Structure 1
Amino acid sequence: MGGPMVNVKQGWLRGTIVKSVVGGSYISFKGIPFAAPPLGDLRFSDPQPPRPWTGVRDASKEGPKCIQIDYITSNMVGDEDCLYLNVATTSLKGSRPVMVWIHGGAFIMGDGGDDMFGPDYLMKQDILVVSIQYRLGVFGFLKLDHEVVPGNMGLKDQVAALKWVRENIAQFGGDPNNVTLFGESAGSSSVHYQLVSPISKGLFHKAIMQSGTMLFPWIGTPLSVETARRYVAVLGNEITDPHEIVEYLRTVPAAKLIEAQEQFQTDEDRFKFLTPFRPSVDDKSKEPFMPKPPEELAVEGFDVPVIIGYNSHEGILFLLTPHDWMFEELDKNFERTVPADLIMENPSKVSQVADELRKFYFKDKPITTDAVSDLVRYYGDTYFLNGTQKVVEYQQKKRTPTYFYKFSYDSPKSLTKLVYKSSMKGTSHEDEVPYLFHPLRFADLLKIEPNSIEQTVSDRFVKMWTDFAKTGNPTPQIDDLITVKWDPVTRTTKNYLEIGSELSAGVNPDEEVELLFKRISDIVKSNLSQGEAND
């Protein structure tokens, strides 16, 4: 049994040498426990330190995914015992920049493994990549508004993984003082949560946010303890005492908890893409991860260099199978689709806000199946663009650099077109991921042909992302590949980089949409008492 060996605080690990799909090889350690298995009495508890082992632990295979419904097969996969991470590095000597990846999946699905996130492309740039798991759905985000289960266990799992990195990554040839946290979708929202949480301070030094902030309406909408009570009722038990709820839920098999979670979404939730369990204010915790509402924390901002951006047609992913009933419902009850974050300050303004949105996106015409591209824009802008633009604006006041991008390369070979069989024009949510990572599950389907535009787009992403991880600047030098200098935003100018088939620099992307949301904000604030409006 040969293979590279590393001694971490819990014991010895044996990894493997992996042949890269782009030539050469790298060193891989998989399935490393960064916390104790969250089983039995530890179900719904904050993560506990990993347990030591004797002898040499085999680190050649990934740990299980966290238990979930697979989005392609609709089968239940994974395990409750899932708090493991993977490390990929080019050498165990030296001290190279570390990039820690947090996967997306709306906090209910996904995992950090090679299925979607093989590190082969990133390894070309001599960095170290860590990909982590965290508890999903009810296991990671049950909230009882009580210290027995205050919520955000899944986000605290991410903190535990970052602490493991700080303590152990030097053994793998990584620099614990140069860690970049990056993620996409709910993974990117997680990065934003980590940036503002008091318990993550100092655990990483730079951040990259791809299509995700904690201000998105499908993530940030407040959770109530009522959700947990309704959930328990779905399981056939009418109890309200937090201690009794936890004791009862710890006796239910994990698979049954996931099945109940699936049955639990209301039509309204589905319409607004709300999952029943998601991040929330956990001020009843002994050590709160999110002591205040996300809106307040976002305004305060963070002092870490960041890349943040979105894709041109994020909404495509939500409308892969547009149903006739959706259009009928939208046409008749458009107000129901107004995202909660737009009217949170003054819900009485919902009909005025709905009118404004309907006029802008649907020109007051009936909403029929012909309007699918308008609907893509409506959902993309309200669910992704607005929250991203707000974070950029808050960060314009900070001294640390904020690099803003818009990804718009619409490839016929994109993830959404080939895997999800979409025929819609535009760059969907998630479409940038296979340019950064080699997705083993779709290796043949998403193969990047040498000398293609896709290859250039991939090389650019990898170079800018890893240069940022190394230096804090995504374009330290201009050459044949990186043809444009990417300037950060300033207090007065919203600079951005458009990443299409070419790179181009500009200011104020999608300005007309930004002005729409400013108008909506003015509508919502009108008639509020002066004190409330200034809050």
Structure 2
Amino acid sequence: MLGEIHLFGAREREGVGWPDKRAGQQRWLSSMVSGLESVSWELESRRITSTRAGFASAIYGFRVPSVLVGAEAPQAADSWTGQRDALQFGSNCRQIRGGSEDCLFVNVFTPKLPNEDDNALLPVLFVIHGGAFIGRSGDLTPGHMMDKGLVIVSINYRLNVYGFLSLEGTNAPGNAGLKDQTFALKWVQANIAKFGGDPDNVTIVGESAGGAAVHYQVLSPLSAGLFHRAISESGSALNPWAYTPGTQDYAIRLGNRLRYHTEGNQGLLDFLRNATVEAIDKAVPIILTHPEKVRYLSNPFVPSLEYPNPDKEPFLPYPPRYMESQGLFNRVPYITGSNSDEGKGFVGSDASMEESTYWETIVNDLERVVPLDLGLTKGSAESVEVANKVKEFYFGDQELSYDTKQHWIDLQTDLLITLGVQTTVRSHSSYSNSTYNYQFIYNGATHGAEYSYVFYAGSMEDRSTDAVKMATLFADMWSDFAKTGDPSLEEETEWLPVSESSFPYLQINTTLTPLYNLENDRMNFWFDIYNNYYNTTSQG
């Protein structure tokens, strides 16, 4: 059911001392700010131990103050009074494996709380989770990053059809999930100082779909001034799985699957809001066609161009590729990068690739490698030509087979992640002098491999192990960037930003190596394809 959701006040602390150093629970009598209203309440938190046996306050499960109806944007709600505990994470947002529509929670991890003796504020790291816009949550273990003098905030946001349904002429214009993130950033601006965080020094970070979401916040005019730096790990709004021109057609297909056939978008929206979540969850995965699925649009309800609403400014007023090309983005210091073997996690197992049928299916439908956002009609001369060019570039005169599987993995790496990231880098280079690019290569880094080092929860005692080296490098670079806007480490190699004429990047391994022109030949191949074949009407 796309029903009504009431989410009540994430509350800020005020005028309390540092909690007792004993592990366990600590109750505070505090005041809260919910929108523009303040009322008294009580909060319970618990202590957590960092990787160096220090302590931090873990404040879980704040409900962001809002009222949500269907796929509407979040709205301020009435405050509540009384005691709420913050001892555990709140409900995950609705997804295939469960969750709830009552899910917009904020979690705060702070190494210190303001008091009369120390009211200095710390930089804020605001974490947006990944999960292809259909799964996962903000349930975060911050690990070693808690030792870096940051206040860390993690959030939930609506997913799938509940967060990205759009229907023209209704109060569901699209991108509600992204607006949830913006709403949480507004909450941080209003409240984080009472947790020891500096609202004037907020860095947003995300991996995979979280990285794409960070990029969307960088693009959106609604997010201007709400953050000051950004980090996208293996995710860009220009990735093929991260954007579709509109989700209305998919909403209509969903209605048809659920046997709704009456005309009118508002009627369809009302019908979906009254359908059961079980019925919706069962129908959504089967509404994409086979050609859509194999051409890198893995989920139907993802960020999209919004339908105009005369009363509200859209989160995404233009297609992201256009906004990037025109410099229509928030000019903040920005780190964006990817991993060397992203595609390995998407091609299936070695056992499946050893089967001849695996490769026969690809050879018999070679146009699956033609990106949907090129806007070429399948079967057209241009589409066939691009498919043949791709095969020739990546495989030469070799056959597609298990013996050439690394070429296939490289192709998936580029199509799914690297090309979108590098297109973003090139676009930013024309308008920004503080965009930093990286490639993570340690141990043949696959998709998401860096995330476990950014928030490393293992022991830090043995500094000689590769895992601790990687965790130290990421924590140092990311935290320095959050504090200063410059990720270079004084004792390591200088990390230069890109410019219009120069494209440096940092290769991250157990040591750091400055290089230029990431995957130069592969990226130039795709830049030429888009220059020669891109249909400008394909993105809405």
Q: TM-score range by the shorter chain?
A: 0.7 to 0.9
SS in 2 for 1:451: coil
Q: Are 2:165 and 1:147 aligned?
A: no
SS in 2 for 1:107: coil
CA distance in 2, matches of 1:488, 1:329: 42
Q: Is the 8 A contact 1:35 1:160 kept in 2?
A: no
CA distance in 2, matches of 1:152, 1:505: 37
Q: TM-score, normalised by structure 1?
A: 0.87
- Given the alignment, which residue of 455, 462, 475 partners 2:468? 455
2:81 corresponds to: 54
How far apart are 1:387 and its partner, in Å? 1.0
Q: Is the 8 A contact 2:125 2:205 kept in 1?
A: yes
Q: How does 1:234-245 map to 2 (within 5 A)?
A: 234-245=257-268
- Given the alignment, which residue of 194, 201, 214 partners 1:191? 214
Q: Is the 8 A contact 1:218 1:272 kept in 2?
A: no
CA distance in 2, matches of 1:88, 1:229: 42
- The 1:523/1:180 distance shift into structure 2, 3 A limit, reads same
1:340 corresponds to: 372
- The 1:5/1:490 distance shift into structure 2, 3 A limit, reads farther
Deviation digits for residues 495-533 of structure 1 (CA, Å, limit 9, x no counterpart): 1110012101111111111221133134326xx9xx99x
Deviation digits for residues 306-347 of structure 1 (CA, Å, limit 9, x no counterpart): 011010011111123346554222111101331112456997
Q: Is the 8 A contact 1:349 1:523 kept in 2?
A: no
SS in 2 for 1:219: coil
Q: Which amino acid aligns with 1:236?
A: R
How far apart are 1:5 and its partner, in Å? 5.5
Q: How does 1:412-427 map to 2 (within 5 A)?
A: 426-427=444-445
CA distance in 1, matches of 2:138, 2:456: 12
Q: Which amino acid aligns with 1:152?
A: N
Q: Are 2:103 and 1:82 aligned?
A: yes
1:25 corresponds to: 55
> 381-390 or 231-240: which moved more?
231-240
Deviation digits for residues 179-219 of structure 1 (CA, Å, limit 9, x no counterpart): 00110111111111111111111111110011111111122
2:481 corresponds to: 468
Deviation digits for residues 54-96 of structure 1 (CA, Å, limit 9, x no counterpart): 1231111111111112xxxxxx221111000100010112211
Q: Is the 8 A contact 1:6 1:14 kept in 2?
A: no
- The 1:6/1:191 distance shift into structure 2, 3 A limit, reads farther
Q: How does 1:483-522 map to 2 (within 5 A)?
A: 483-522=492-531
Could you tell me which runs of 5 or more consecutive residues in structure 2 were left unpaired when the two chains were aligned.
1-24, 115-119
Identity %: 36
SS in 2 for 1:304: coil
> 54-63 or 1-10: which moved more?
1-10
Structure 1 residue ranges, 4+ long, deviating more than 4 angstroms after superposition = 322-326, 343-348, 446-450
Q: Is the 8 A contact 1:29 1:88 kept in 2?
A: yes
Could you tell me which runs of 5 or more consecutive residues in structure 1 were left unpaired when the two chains were aligned.
70-75, 411-425
Q: Which amino acid aligns with 2:139?
A: G
How far apart are 1:353 and its partner, in Å? 1.2
CA distance in 1, matches of 2:44, 2:239: 41
Q: TM-score, normalised by structure 2?
A: 0.86
1:416 corresponds to: none
Q: How does 1:34-45 map to 2 (within 5 A)?
A: 34-36=64-66, 38=68, 42-45=69-72
Q: Are 2:94 and 1:67 aligned?
A: yes
CA distance in 1, matches of 2:383, 2:460: 46
> 364-373 or 188-197: which moved more?
364-373
1:320 corresponds to: 348
Q: Is the 8 A contact 2:433 2:498 kept in 1?
A: no
How far apart are 1:257 and its partner, in Å? 1.3
SS in 2 for 1:379: helix
CA distance in 2, matches of 1:401, 1:135: 31
Q: Is the 8 A contact 2:70 2:172 kept in 1?
A: no
Q: Which amino acid aligns with 1:278?
A: V
> 329-338 or 81-90: which moved more?
329-338
CA distance in 1, matches of 2:52, 2:276: 43
1:299 corresponds to: 325
- Given the alignment, which residue of 272, 276, 285 partners 1:249? 272
1:110 corresponds to: 136
Q: Which amino acid aligns with 1:465?
A: W
CA distance in 1, matches of 2:171, 2:424: 32
Q: Which amino acid aligns with 1:281?
A: L
- Given the alignment, which residue of 402, 426, 447 partners 2:435? 402
Q: Are 2:501 and 1:478 aligned?
A: no
Q: Which amino acid aligns with 2:373?
A: D
2:453 corresponds to: 435
- Given the alignment, which residue of 113, 136, 150 partners 1:127? 150
Q: Are 2:266 and 1:266 aligned?
A: no
Q: Which amino acid aligns with 1:460?
A: L
- The 1:502/1:67 distance shift into structure 2, 3 A limit, reads same
CA RMSD of aligned residues (A): 2.3
Q: Which amino acid aligns with 1:85?
A: V
How far apart are 1:404 and its partner, in Å? 0.8
Deviation digits for residues 425-462 of structure 1 (CA, Å, limit 9, x no counterpart): x21110000001146xxx7xx99965301101110000
CA distance in 2, matches of 1:187, 1:348: 36
Q: Is the 8 A contact 2:91 2:100 kept in 1?
A: yes
CA distance in 2, matches of 1:176, 1:367: 53
How far apart are 1:50 and its partner, in Å? 4.5
Q: Which amino acid aligns with 1:48?
A: Q
Q: Is the 8 A contact 1:331 1:368 kept in 2?
A: no
- Given the alignment, which residue of 382, 399, 405 partners 1:349? 382
CA distance in 2, matches of 1:304, 1:522: 28
- The 1:343/1:250 distance shift into structure 2, 3 A limit, reads closer
How far apart are 1:37 and its partner, in Å? 5.3
CA distance in 1, matches of 2:374, 2:530: 7
Q: Which amino acid aligns with 2:422?
A: Q
How far apart are 1:305 and its partner, in Å? 0.6
Say how many residue pairs are matched: 492
- The 1:259/1:403 distance shift into structure 2, 3 A limit, reads same
